[in-house]
């Protein structure tokens, strides 16, 4: 018989583009999701959790964003020939769910959903193939009151997770206004309209002057490559630039500028009217310009959405990887999209919604030092005598029953130094020690590890003597003394 070939060992590696999250990375995100769910619920939204897997048929195989047709999904074929795929966002499953259950769901249907989504794209730095989304959508409400509500909710959400007023802005634009502008320009050629839309999408990056060049003859980009322009004359391009730069000091001023920009276009006037209504509703709710503003320079998603478009931006500055100051930027976006379920049912159903970038928000809070401090580990009961595990077990149970996070050392107890090293790795605040002598005397040693570390680093001999970090107390005082030390440490 041929000798069996030895199998090589598998590699212990996170798959490319995925990552693992440890400890507070997990709990901080989970806390944030809970807080956001709380706000969404408060606004009358109901939870929905669909499965991670959808049929490719229901999902559509590719992302809806026309600019990224090659970015796909993770898909596989079932034995019985059905193709299944991991969801790439939470909107496509909502469309499927709404089409499937529409007769049983309330209309309008306000739902929120949170969970991971998957993208089969080339991973990059800080760009993962699995990440969290946290969406709220209102289905079946044609009125922009639904959009205004979502903007107000977005503002509340940001403040609830710890972004104070003044550190963020929700900015609103409207696709219909842009359509009005395009109508004014007399662009009848669909391809040219698409070119203009694509150019507008670069406003964030290249600014007004760049957009002017790109709408005209073209532009030399930073890399030295020449980008061909759309080929409009300056006169033709002017309304687009007027639209993008029409933000005034007040909502009234902005609306007036926009009215000029759309001229006699009916769809344009409708869009301006929608913005006007949203401003009025938000004002009635007390959401002033310190939280939510009309801003026609919001272009992200203008190509995808059909009515109001909104974006939440953090306005404080951070240092980027090259040490340059820049604004933190967008953490959430959304807008109105028609035809949510039309693919399934043939009927148009209006919908509007928002998606919050939970991981971006967590990064922002870390950047500001509001989360991410190392969390306190458990109290560690050390093992001096392996035959008396029951004694140590009793201690740890006493501590836990008193509401104190605690554990007994479960490694090999032979080397006591390893036990203290372990306590250190765990960021433990306190170690408990009870050797044979202590047991005989009915006492225990309690070591304040935080103070111990401080003293070891900074203290003079005098201070060392004055502020002992290890205490001998009767066994019966275990819980009381641990509580006392934890209280000192919390200060």
Rounded least distance, CB 123 to a copy of itself, Å: 12
Look up tokens 């028609």; give the residue: 338
CB closer to a copy of itself, 25 vs 367: 25
CB closer to a copy of itself, 126 vs 323: 126
Rounded least distance, CB 435 to a copy of itself, Å: 18
CB closer to a copy of itself, 106 vs 468: 106
CB closer to a copy of itself, 227 vs 394: 394
Burial code (b: 16+ CB inside 10 Å, e: under 16) for 16-46 equals ebeeeeeeeeeebbeebbeebbebbeebebe
113 SS3 class: strand
CB closer to a copy of itself, 259 vs 343: 343
User: Do residues 453 and 421 lie in contact, with contact meaning Cβ atoms separated by under 8 Å?
Assistant: no
Torsions phi, psi for 55 (to 5 deg): -75, 145
CB closer to a copy of itself, 82 vs 463: 82
User: Do residues 246 and 258 lie in contact, with contact meaning Cβ atoms separated by under 8 Å?
Assistant: yes
Rounded least distance, CB 414 to a copy of itself, Å: 12
Rounded least distance, CB 342 to a copy of itself, Å: 9
CB closer to a copy of itself, 58 vs 364: 58
Rounded least distance, CB 229 to a copy of itself, Å: 33
Computed over its alpha carbons, how large is the radius of gyration of the chain?
30
Cα separation, 264 vs 463, whole angstroms: 81
Rounded least distance, CB 424 to a copy of itself, Å: 9
Q: Quick one: tokens of 250?
A: 């007040």
CB closer to a copy of itself, 128 vs 304: 128
Torsions phi, psi for 38 (to 5 deg): -60, -45
Geometric angle at alpha carbon 337, from 345 and 71, rounded to 5°? 90
Rounded least distance, CB 288 to a copy of itself, Å: 12
* Region for residue 433 given its phi and psi (left: phi exceeds 0; alpha: psi -120 to 50; beta: otherwise): beta
Residues with Cβ within 8 Å of residue 277, at least 6 apart in sequence: 144, 145, 148
Rounded least distance, CB 468 to a copy of itself, Å: 26
Cα separation, 275 vs 153, whole angstroms: 17
CB closer to a copy of itself, 177 vs 404: 404
The angle that helices 478-490 and 449-458 make with each other, rounded to 10 degrees, is 50
CB closer to a copy of itself, 287 vs 328: 287
User: Do residues 230 and 195 lie in contact, with contact meaning Cβ atoms separated by under 8 Å?
Assistant: yes
Q: Quick one: tokens of 476?
A: 């019966």
Rounded least distance, CB 343 to a copy of itself, Å: 6
Rounded least distance, CB 42 to a copy of itself, Å: 5
Cα separation, 264 vs 184, whole angstroms: 7
**Strand ranges inside 175-324, DSSP E:** 218-220, 226-228, 292-294, 308-319
């Amino acid at each position: 018989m041929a000798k069996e070939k030895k199998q090589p060992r598998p590699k212990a590696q996170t798959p490319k583009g995925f990552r693992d999250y440890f400890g507070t990375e997990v709990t901080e995100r989970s806390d944030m999701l809970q807080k956001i769910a709380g706000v969404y619920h408060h606004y009358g939204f109901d939870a929905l959790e669909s499965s991670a897997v959808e049929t490719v048929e229901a999902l559509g195989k590719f992302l809806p964003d026309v600019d990224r047709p090659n970015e796909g999904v993770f898909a596989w074929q079932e034995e019985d020939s059905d193709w299944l795929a991991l969801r790439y966002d939470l909107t496509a499953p909502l469309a499927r769910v709404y089409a499937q259950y529409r007769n049983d769901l309330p209309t309008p249907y306000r739902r929120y959903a949170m969970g991971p989504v998957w993208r089969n794209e080339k991973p990059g730095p800080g760009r993962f193939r699995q990440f969290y989304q946290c969406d709220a959508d209102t289905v079946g409400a044609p009125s922009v009151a639904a959009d205004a509500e979502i903007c107000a909710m977005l503002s509340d959400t940001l403040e609830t997770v710890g972004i104070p007023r003044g550190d963020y802005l929700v900015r609103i634009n409207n696709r219909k206004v842009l359509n009005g502008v395009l109508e004014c320009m007399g662009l009848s050629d669909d391809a040219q309209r698409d070119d203009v839309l694509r150019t507008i999408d670069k406003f964030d990056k290249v600014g007004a002057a760049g957009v002017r060049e790109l709408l005209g003859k073209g532009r030399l980009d930073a890399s030295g490559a020449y980008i061909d322009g759309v080929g409009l004359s300056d006169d033709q391009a002017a309304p687009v630039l007027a639209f993008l730069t029409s933000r005034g000091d007040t909502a009234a001023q902005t609306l007036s500028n926009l009215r000029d920009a759309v001229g006699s276009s009916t769809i344009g006037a409708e869009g301006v009217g929608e913005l006007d209504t949203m401003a009025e509703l938000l004002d009635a709710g007390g959401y002033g310009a310190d939280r939510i503003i009309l801003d026609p320079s919001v272009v992200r998603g203008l190509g995808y959405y059909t009515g109001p478009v909104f974006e939440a931006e953090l306005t404080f500055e951070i240092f980027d990887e090259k040490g340059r100051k820049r604004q933190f930027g967008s953490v959430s976006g959304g807008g109105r999209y028609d035809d949510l379920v039309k693919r399934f049912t043939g009927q148009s159903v209006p919908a509007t919604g928002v998606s919050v970038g939970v991981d971006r928000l967590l990064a922002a809070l870390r950047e500001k030092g509001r989360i991410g401090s190392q969390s306190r580990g458990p109290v560690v009961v050390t093992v001096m005598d392996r035959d008396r595990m029951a004694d140590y077990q009793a201690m740890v149970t006493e501590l836990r029953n008193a509401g104190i996070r605690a554990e007994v050392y479960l490694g090999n107890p032979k080397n006591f130094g390893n036990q203290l090293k372990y306590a250190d790795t765990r960021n433990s605040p306190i170690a408990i020690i009870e050797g044979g002598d202590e047991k005989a005397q009915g006492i225990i040693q309690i070591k304040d590890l935080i103070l111990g570390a401080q003293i070891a680093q900074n203290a003079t001999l005098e201070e060392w003597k004055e502020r002992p970090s290890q205490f001998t107390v009767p066994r019966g005082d275990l819980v009381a003394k641990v509580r006392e030390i934890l209280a000192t440490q919390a200060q």
